[in-house]
Amino acid sequence: MTAVVNSSRVERSPAIAQLRRRLAWARANLFARPIDVLLTSTIAAAAVALLWAIVPWAFIDAVWVGENRAACRPDAACWAFIVNRGGQFLYGFYPQPERWRVNAVFLIFAVSVFLLLRRDTPGKRVVAFFLLLVFPILGYVLLHGGVAGLSRVTTDKWGGLSLTLLLGVAGIVVSFPIAIVLALGRQSEMPLFRWASIAYIEICRGLPLIAVLFMARILLPYAFPVGSEFDPLALAVTGIILFESAYLAEVFRGGFQAIPKGQAEAAAAIGFGYWRTAIYVTLPQMLRVVVPGVVNNAIALVKNTTLVVILGLFEVLNIVAAGAADPDWLGLHAEGYVFVGLVFWGLCFAMSRYSQSLERELKAAERS
């Protein structure tokens, strides 16, 4: 059919032909009946009105530089607040001359994750060992200091986006192995192991993270002698891991159940026992299946990290909110929350895109 249409218009230029096709499409899909005309024009008017309100506020009249709120205009966005406080939003109260340490930790993390995910890296086992066992200690030592000539930066100074990322990464990386053990435990034939896993998963999954964090703050001091001090960051990380490992364990259990029974039987028929079957046959297949579920949980976790304000920690949302309470920048909440919204959206969208590309790559790997 298309061949006939094309041959009858062979003398027209391609640009005009394309325009005609688009007009025909619009006519068929947007203006076919009176009700379609009404809907299309209402939606178009609403979109224009929205842009009319946002664009001048956010871009045309916006103020980008300034030392305090005197530079701002009452009817437009004042991004000078974000630009001015950018360092604090990224690093919290981490002392300025020491901020390279935060950068170094994230750079090491990014490079080792890249090496681990690239297909042809030699010695992946060394990288994985480094990332899971050496890096958490190295990272803590670098950030906290107090040794090897690094000045001490206590955890109450950590904050901003780097704290958000730290909580998210620590939450996923540490929960990952715990969740695998829990998922295996839930299906185990050993009753004690199975019941312990089920109890853990059901209890921790049934609690809201906010309740876990409140309990850590309010109940924990009662359980220990008066005067015991708890590092709020350690409490936050522990609470997040408790919560996240239960969720991930259920994602992994679903992944294990998606593997046909014949796979474990084939492994058994070779003479593999429980652990070899898990390590060489079921785990690698399970991890491919669960990519979307894990990323979904990671996205939820990154947004949940905002709750650590309960423990007095200022991750990116709360440090921006606190910034808008500063007399120099009083009342710039709108700019702050728009900025934080964009930051979280960017993080989550990047994770989602990454998971899609990883899924495609894994599918391709099974065919090449």
User: Which residues make up the interface to other proteins (CB under 8 A)?
Assistant: 260, 262-263, 265-273, 276, 280-281, 284-285, 288, 365-368
Alpha helices in 145-231 (DSSP H): 160-186, 191-206, 209-218, 220-223
Give least dist CB 272 to other proteins, A. Answer: 7
List C-alpha distances in Å: 255 to 183, 184, 290, 329.
10, 11, 6, 49
CA 198: distance to chain centroid?
27
Give least dist CB 338 to other proteins, A. Answer: 44
Q: Which is nearer to other proteins, 300 or 365 (CB)?
A: 365
Q: Which is nearer to other proteins, 204 or 283 (CB)?
A: 283
Closest CA to 178 of 259, 245, 111: 245
CB 55 within 8 A of CB 48: no
Q: Side-chain half-sphere of 160: how many Cα atoms within 13 Å?
A: 18
Q: Which is nearer to other proteins, 202 or 265 (CB)?
A: 265
Q: Which is nearer to other proteins, 60 or 269 (CB)?
A: 269
Give least dist CB 129 to other proteins, A. Answer: 20
Q: Which is nearer to other proteins, 33 or 367 (CB)?
A: 367
Q: Which is nearer to other proteins, 149 or 260 (CB)?
A: 260
State the amino acid at position 234 in one-letter form. A
Give least dist CB 3 to other proteins, A. Answer: 35
- Distance of alpha carbon 234 from alpha carbon 220, whole angstroms: 13
Q: Side-chain half-sphere of 41: how many Cα atoms within 13 Å?
A: 7
Q: Which is nearer to other proteins, 58 or 264 (CB)?
A: 264
Give least dist CB 365 to other proteins, A. Answer: 8
Q: Which is nearer to other proteins, 26 or 270 (CB)?
A: 270
- Start-to-end CA distance of the chain, whole Å, equals 37
Where b means 16+ CB within 10 Å and e means fewer, 65-104 reads ebeebeebeeebbbbbbbebbeebbbbbebeeebbebbee
Give least dist CB 190 to other proteins, A. Answer: 13
Give least dist CB 258 to other proteins, A. Answer: 12
Q: Which is nearer to other proteins, 207 or 287 (CB)?
A: 287
- Distance of alpha carbon 328 from alpha carbon 330, whole angstroms: 6
Scanning the structure block, which residue is given the tokens 């901003």? 160
Both tokens of 99, joined, read 């901020």
Give least dist CB 265 to other proteins, A. Answer: 6
Give least dist CB 127 to other proteins, A. Answer: 20
Give least dist CB 301 to other proteins, A. Answer: 27
The answer to whether the Cα torsion of 303, 243, 259, 173 is positive or negative is positive
Where b means 16+ CB within 10 Å and e means fewer, 131-160 reads beeebeeebeebbbbeeeeeeebebebbbb
Q: Which is nearer to other proteins, 14 or 260 (CB)?
A: 260
